Structure 1
Amino acid sequence: MGRGDLSKDEWARLRPHLPVNGRQGGRWASHRRVISGILYRARAGVPWRDLPTRFGPWTTVYDRHRRWCADGTWDRILTVPQAAADAEVRLDWSLASIDSTSCRAHQHAAGARKRIRRNRGIPKQHWTDEGLGRSRGGLTSKIHLACEGSRHPLALLITPGQAGDSTQFEAVMERIRVPRPGSGRPRTRPDHVSADKAHSTQRIRFYLRGRGISHAIPEPRNQRANRLRRGSQGSRPTGFDKETYKRRNEVERTIHRLKGFRAAATRYDKRAYGFHGTVTVASIRLWLRR
């Protein structure tokens, strides 16, 4: 067992929830070794061909990672440690913090084929623009993240680098789905939501109010001045809890931990669903280390 590989306890928690059969009906073997290779690549950011031989053929590791990215297996596996923490009352639902971070795209991330092979089906996290945006610094992608109070990811979304934070807020919130033990509905609503000024829009406030979620979103100066200028025609003052907003550093610290994985800090994947899967693998690792 090398540094960063799955421990016996982590493997015992994941093993019952992993796929058994491959696409052609054959049984997959050595899941533990392959997942350790995927974790090594996410942490070190090395090309797939440069994986150490102790993880087996690099083509096997890459192919399994690509398949699980495309069919949403990694997203389902992420809910396993989340549900376990929720069942043990170790998941802090008192506050969910939302923010985003930009990731530079490596030159190897460009040049993906414009057509998806139909015989393999359309991947679950497919973006027609592959989640790449062009800015002054070159190609970039953006990770929109929601984390719980204990600084662990709850949901994430990959978009082009120029995508605004407020436009993706509802999409990130809709991805928060933590299964409950038994047959109950997944838990989707935190008690409070904290976000920065980029999320200060009436649409977001109405959305949270409709779901019964309190929020701590500061109002920018220009919005406050415009509201006061309109007098009685302006909207009512927005509620803002400074003490709750002080905890917004939790999402910043979660992003810092997530970017400790080099393949998440810099995008090397050509496909958007591949990069989404890589960031999800890093999130799974953070939950398993809890």
Structure 2
Amino acid sequence: MHVAVALEDLPLSIVIGSGAEYDSYRFEETIGAIKVRTGYRPETRPEEIVADSIYDDTQVREFLRRRRIKASIPENKRNRKRRKRGRPRRFSKKSYAKRLAVERFFSRIKTGFRRIIIRYERLDRIFRALVIIATFFIYWEKLQEKF
């Protein structure tokens, strides 16, 4: 399950992939699925992406550069045999702290919706439906907190 999460711990887009798939393969699809209705036209391009070091890949960084999205992704030391020369990649510890929203979202999924984490369902459409129902309940809880 690949999820783009807003700062309020609410999912913006969810893409279901196979468990044996490398995470960065579905990055473009996950970011491309973001559509936030703010008025006349939906917002499809976030200002900044804060991701884990798993997404430290040249294809991911080029995709973000093409769409003019700032990236705060730490360098994955396992991918580098020696330090790269040239301009260092952008990484902000202050903005990386915002990544806790993703951890809080998955914590809510793990504590309240155990069936999703274990994934008993074989069919993707049934699993996706359960994930959508779980996110509905998460949004509902957030709305109850505000009122």
TM-score band w.r.t. shorter chain: 0.7 to 0.9
Q: What residue number does 1:87 align with? A: none
Number of the residue aligned with 2:129: 277
Q: Which runs of 5+ in 1 are unaligned?
A: 1-142, 229-233
Percent of aligned pairs with the same residue? 34
Which of structures 1 and 2 has the larger relative contact order (alpha carbons within 8 angstroms, sep 6+)? 1
- 1:236 Cα deviation after fit: 3.1
Q: Could you report, residue by residue, the CA deviation over 1:22-58 in whole angstroms, capped at 9, with x for unpaired residues?
A: xxxxxxxxxxxxxxxxxxxxxxxxxxxxxxxxxxxxx
How many residues are matched? Answer: 141
SS of the residue 2:36 aligns to: coil
Secondary structure of 1:159's aligned partner = coil
User: Normalized against structure 2, the TM-score is what?
Assistant: 0.87
**3-state SS in 1 of match to 2:74:** coil
Which stretches in structure 2 are left out of the alignment for 5+ residues?
143-147
Cα distance, 1:172 vs structure 2:
0.6
Q: Distance between the aligned counterparts of 2:33 and 2:129, measured in 1? A: 15
Q: Which residue of 2 aligns with 1:172?
A: 30
What whole-Å deviation, never above 9, does each CA across 1:177-216 have from its counterpart, x for those lacking one? 12233xx221112211111111001111111111111111
**Residues 251-271 of structure 1: per-residue CA shift (max 9 Å, x gap):** 011011022213322223231
Any conservation in 2 of the 1:227–1:235 contact (CA below 8 Å)?
A: no
Larger Rg: 1
Contact 1:146 1:155 in 2 (8 A): yes
1:212 to 68, 72, 89: 68
Distance of 1:223 and 1:162 partners within structure 2:
19
Mapped to 1, the partners of 2:66 and 2:92 lie a distance apart of: 19
Could you tell me which amino acid in structure 2 is paired with residue 148 of structure 1?
A
- Runs of 4+ residues over 4 Å off in structure 1: 222-225
Return the alpha-carbon distance in structure 2 between the equivalents of residues 270 and 168 of structure 1: 20
Q: Is 2:4 the partner of 1:146?
A: yes
Aligned position for 2:77: 221
Deviation, structure 1 residue 223? 4.5
Equivalent position of 2:58 in the other structure: 202
Select 1:262's aligned residue among 104, 114, 120: 114
Local SS of the residue matching 2:42: coil
Q: Which residue matches 2:138?
A: 286
Aligned-pair CA distance for 1:272? 0.5
Q: Deviation per CA, 1:63-93, whole angstroms, max 9, x where unpaired?
A: xxxxxxxxxxxxxxxxxxxxxxxxxxxxxxx
The answer for the alignment partner of 1:9 in structure 2 is none
The CA deviation at 1:227 is: 4.1
